[in-house]
Chains A and B, each alone.
Chain A
């Protein structure tokens, strides 16, 4: 079964740092671009970042540029999101999602999400 499992969320004070992880199984992780998508409580979906298969191409939404860093370890089938200088507006469920580039660059497999709460 193709699966993504996020971890690392929690309660963090404004200005703090957190590192999210996403463990992939059931497919060849190194063959797919990967994404982070977030959803603030009661709000819609917001794409956060994408990393290519070899980490050579990386993209961010403007609101996290300079604060968040996406990375991956293909040997460990894992995706990461290092989040620094966290703000209250970063509070959200964070999902990792597989990018199926061959069929329209869509997000075809999603994890269950991990909650990040930024509050004092």
Chain B
């Protein structure tokens, strides 16, 4: 199974900050990476697909990069609506696996 290691587990930031979350795969997944946002009590929401493609309707302050085993999700200017938990997911092989999550908190 491909293990996804996400860091940091928690991130404290202020509105307007640039935020970067990292996800490392235990073996190469090419560009088979997705990023999701989840708010308490709600289902996850797709943000990024195929490592760097912005899902329709997602604000352009979100971006993804990377390939192979190293990936990042960047929020260019954190907004109040962005305080949530973020998960990476490899979409390259079975079982599909998620990172442990990164909770973005208000500083």
Asked if A44 meets B43 with Cβ closer than 8 Å, knowing A104-B49, A106-B49, the reply is no
Q: Which residue of the partner chain B has the closest CB to A100?
A: B49
In the bound complex, CA of A60 to CA of B95 (Å): 7
Q: Which residues of A contact B95 (CB under 8 A)?
A: 47, 59-62
Q: Which residue of the partner chain B has the closest CB to A112?
A: B43
Confirm or deny: B32 has a beta carbon within 8 angstroms of a beta carbon on chain A.
yes
Confirm or deny: A1 has a beta carbon within 8 angstroms of a beta carbon on chain B.
no
Q: Which residues of B contact A46 (CB under 8 A)?
A: 98
* B94–A110 touching, CB < 8 Å: no
Which of B32, B49, B99, B101 has the largest count of A CB atoms less than 10 A from its CB? B49
Q: How many chain B residues touch A (Cβ–Cβ < 8 Å)?
A: 27
Confirm or deny: A29 has a beta carbon within 8 angstroms of a beta carbon on chain B.
no
What distance in Å separates the Cβ of B84 from its nearest Cβ neighbour in chain A? Answer: 13
* B55–A44 touching, CB < 8 Å: no
Q: Select one of B44, B55, B97 contacting A110, CB under 8 A.
A: B44
In the bound complex, CA of A45 to CA of B42 (Å): 12
* B87–A45 touching, CB < 8 Å: yes
Q: Which residue of the partner chain A has the closest CB to B85?
A: A44
Size category of the A interface is 20 to 34
Q: Which residue of the partner chain A has the closest CB to B38?
A: A45
Confirm or deny: B100 has a beta carbon within 8 angstroms of a beta carbon on chain A.
yes
What distance in Å separates the Cβ of B6 from its nearest Cβ neighbour in chain A? Answer: 9
In the bound complex, CA of A112 to CA of B89 (Å): 19
Q: Select one of A50, A60, A103 contacting B53, CB under 8 A.
A: A103
* B34–A47 touching, CB < 8 Å: no
In the bound complex, CA of A105 to CA of B49 (Å): 8
* A107–B44 touching, CB < 8 Å: yes
Confirm or deny: A80 has a beta carbon within 8 angstroms of a beta carbon on chain B.
no
